[in-house]
Amino acid sequence: MPAFFLKKNLVYFAALKNHIGFYSTPSGVEAFKDELGQYKRSKGTIQFPLEKPLPVELIRNIVIFRMKEVLGI
């Protein structure tokens, strides 16, 4: 499974039959729970349906959040 890494894994992602799985750890999902209301999610996972445009800005913000979290900023 592909991942972005900065000192440790930041986020993972995978293409599945009906969605793209985005694994941002529980802290990433919790920090953006208000913005994720329309997406199916669980403890550390967000499902982006293939029939809808990817929320690129939201994904970018989650990755930046995780970078700051890992770096202690």
User: What is the tens place of the pLDDT at every residue in 2-60?
Assistant: 898 899 889 999 999 999 999 999 999 999 999 998 999 999 999 999 999 999 999 99
Confidence band for 63, pLDDT divided at 50, 70 and 90? very high
Alpha-carbon distances, residue 68 vs 2, 14, 52, 65, 72 (angstroms): 20, 23, 28, 5, 6
Predicted TM-score of the model (pTM): 0.90
The CA distance from 55 to 6, in Å, is: 22
Q: What domains can you pick out in the chain, each with its CATH number?
A: 3-71 (3.90.1150.200)
Per-residue pLDDT at 21: 96
3-state secondary structure (DSSP) of residue 39: coil
> In this structure, are residues 2 and 10 in contact, taking their beta carbons and an 8 Å threshold?
no
Asked if residue 1 has pLDDT above 90, the reply is no
**Given this model, what pLDDT does residue 8 score?**
87
